[in-house]
Amino acid sequence: GENVEQHPSTLSVQEGDSAVIKCTYSDSASNYFPWYKQELGKGPQLIIDIRSNVGEKKDQRIAVTLNKTAKHFSLHITETQPEDSAVYFCAATNYNNNDMRFGAGTRLTVKP
Amino acid sequence: ETGVTQSPTHLIKTRGQQVTLRCSSQSGHNTVSWYQQALGQGPQFIFQYYREEENGRGNFPPRFSGLQFPNYSSELNVNALELDDSALYLCASSLPGRRYEQYFGPGTRLTVT
């Protein structure tokens, strides 16, 4: 089955700096890669996703990149703000699969 | 538009007891997935329900069971609770034809003592 690894486990940046979180996956059949943001006491919130037929996707300050050959995908947050502080999870699955596999999470802290 | 809701918010049970957790899917969503999130870890897939039937299951024992109702709401039942069942239980719902795109509720925090 799919195995997703996520790095780093913690990340601290200064407000205004960029943050990058990286994930690798093992199953070449995976074709959907969402990113979730989880704030304290809340459920994961879908913030952006990318499909295997696309190499990059951007939504305002957030971008995701996918390297299918290397089985890597990354989340990039630019101009970070204190409200970006949360735990971020990457995940991988196949459109026809029910089992979405999550990484272990990255705790991002943005210092004002 | 109402998002995914879950009840109760918190629950404390004793080892060996049974528990039922509830989930109401987001409007227009017909697929519900359940996840277990242990402290400091990512969510782990328990099972998915579609058209009131189980549609895939993760590596969880049979004492974890579920139901989906005609209005697409769902229940997660756990029998013979163990201490390791203490976790945040998350429900996620999906639109028809896009079950991979999952929207999560706030979760139910279960503590087993």
What is chain B written as a DSSP string? ----EEE-SEEEE-TT--EEEEEEPPTT--EEEEEEE-TTS--EEEEEEETTEEEEE-S--TTEEEEE-TTS-EEEEE-S--GGG-EEEEEEEE-TT-TTS-EE---EEEEE-
Give the span between the Cα atoms of B75 and A23, in whole angstroms: 32
* Chain-chain contact of A99 with B58 (C-beta, under 8 angstroms): yes
pLDDT at A98: 82
Cβ neighbours of B12 (radius 10 Å)? 12
Q: Are residues A112 and A16 in contact, defined by beta-carbon separation less than 8 angstroms?
A: no
Which of B30, B34, B45, B46 to substitute to test the interface with A, most A CBs within 10 Å? B45
Nearest C-alpha in B relative to A4:
B42
pLDDT tens per residue across all 113 residues of chain B: 579 999 999 999 999 999 999 999 998 899 999 999 999 999 999 999 998 999 999 999 999 999 999 999 999 999 999 999 999 999 999 998 898 999 999 999 999 99
Chain B: nearest CA to A19, how far in angstroms?
A: 20
A73 touches chain B (CB under 8 A): no
* Regions of chain A short of the pLDDT cut 70: none
User: What token pair was written down for B77?
Assistant: 């039942």
pLDDT at B1: 58
Q: Which of B40, B47, B107 sits opposite A43 (nearest CB)?
A: B107
Tell me A53's DSSP state. T
Give the span between the Cα atoms of A106 and A93, in whole angstroms: 19
Helical (H) or strand (E) element with A19: strand A19-25
Tell me A82's DSSP state. G
Give CA separation, A9 vs A6, A83, B32, B97, B107, in Å: 7, 19, 29, 33, 22
Chain A: nearest CA to B99, how far in angstroms?
A: 8
A30 touches chain B (CB under 8 A): no
B30 touches chain A (CB under 8 A): no
* Look-up of token digits 């782990």: B44
